[in-house]
Amino acid sequence: MKKVMVATLLVALVCTSLFAQGGAEAAASVVTNAQKPVIFFNRQPSDPVSGVIDMEVMNWNDKTYYVGFDAAGGGAVQGQLVVDYLATADPAVIDRNGDGIIGYVLCIGDVGHNDSKARTQGVREALGTWTGSTDPGVENTKEGSAVVGGTEMKVVELDSRAMTGTDGTTWNANAATDAMGGWATRLGDQIDMVISNNDGMAMGCLQASNYPAGVPIFGYDANADAIEAIGAGILTGTVSQNVDAQATATLQVIRNLLDGLTGDAVVTAGISEPDQYGNKISADVEYLPETKALLAQNTGVNSSNWQQYAEGSRDQGIKQTDAETKRVLLTIYNSGDNFLSSSYIPALNYYAPLLNIDLTIVQGDGQNESSCLDRFTNLNSFDAYAINMVRTNSGRDYLDRLQY
């Protein structure tokens, strides 16, 4: 009887030990939300005044990255696009009132956005009106110069404005329409050129009933309607930030992290080098380790090359994978943002199925952070998160949600 009891006790102890060991291993294998991949995109976590990157947010965990484009380089590309246009222009035609001055107005998207700052700086530097400030207002510029059709001419920024809508949204096309109408009435034929920090505002300017016919206008983003407008001779030029490369890189980094890749492979596999499925982004994408940022490069678009950027030209380097399907929650700061709604989201929806990513997209109102945060829920149901904030200094608000 004692032998039976001892044997039973030993079996019970062994089973208890094995159960405890299995439970510990199971507990160790559980991935908390705080350990999952977090990709910020399009709006880089940063101080809205100084533009300094928020590295506390970027170092949230070893699976936190930013995907965007080379903002400073893009500003320079836009500035050069304008300068190149002026170099071949006829001074007698572009100088509408013949005063020997090229006057331009500037649509500033969001004074607290790094990308907007870079574009404003790029344009002002190229035209010689740069004073070290990206703020709106002629008090923040100086008289510049540019070569116009072989003749050096004075350049003056007649006015600039941050295009904020009545609802508080930035990069607002309707605000640009109103501003352009006011500029055309007040400044008349002093306006020789219109420059905008994005295509949405540029197209908004063109909607002004008194937009001066024939005045060249430049945008930024290479949205589908802007490309069509260039082809029709309505828009003069824009800058492509390679939205397909950005959208794919956002998803590819997530795919790499969920597939267990580490180190350099996270930011090179499927991006600058073929991944295990044979995918590789065609456009140039650069990784900056100091800010954990993957940045697509920019190209100027005008009447000579607009057809290369026509709608429907997707990256043939990305093909269907056989990876395990993973769920990703992605936020868009503003459902009304022209670039995100007409270019970025369609690209995401094209590439996500190819990478076997089940994408859930929630969109805010572009004004209140809560419009996105209130939809940043049911977090346990997702394998990774892609975040596009309303305010660039709101990254911590999202990360706090992942602690629980």
pLDDT tens, position by position, 186-217 = 999 999 999 999 999 999 999 999 999 999 99
- Whether 21 has a pLDDT exceeding 80, the answer reads no
Nearest to 364 by CA among 71, 168, 112, 116: 168
- Categorise residue 254: left if φ over 0, alpha if ψ from -120 to 50, beta otherwise: alpha
- Whether 25 has a pLDDT exceeding 70, the answer reads no
Which pLDDT tens digit goes with each residue over 117-146?
999 999 999 999 999 999 999 999 999 999
Output the CA angle 228-234-237, nearest 5 degrees: 75
- Whether 16 has a pLDDT exceeding 50, the answer reads no
Token pair listed for 136: 């709106």
- Whether 28 has a pLDDT exceeding 70, the answer reads no
Long-range pairs of 257-260 with CB within 8 A, sequence gap ≥ 24: 257/37, 257/63, 257/384, 258/37, 258/326, 258/383, 258/384, 259/323
Q: Does domain 72-240 have CATH number 3.40.640.10?
A: no
pTM for the full model? Answer: 0.77
- The residues near 77 (Cβ < 8 Å, ≥ 6 apart) are 122, 239, 298, 299, 300
How much is the pLDDT for 64? 98
Average pLDDT for 175-183 = 98
Average pLDDT for 221-233 = 94
How much is the pLDDT for 29? 60
How much is the pLDDT for 189? 98
Average pLDDT for 147-162 = 97
Average pLDDT for 286-300 = 95
| CA 375/CA 363 separation, integer angstroms | 8
- The residues near 96 (Cβ < 8 Å, ≥ 6 apart) are 189, 190, 191, 192, 212, 215
Percentage of the residues of the chain whose pLDDT score is greater than 90: 82
| CA 270/CA 252 separation, integer angstroms | 7
Q: Where are the domains of the chain?
A: 36-70+244-401, 72-240
Average pLDDT for 361-376 = 96
Give the up-direction half-sphere exposure of residue 108: CA atoms within 13 A in the CB hemisphere: 23
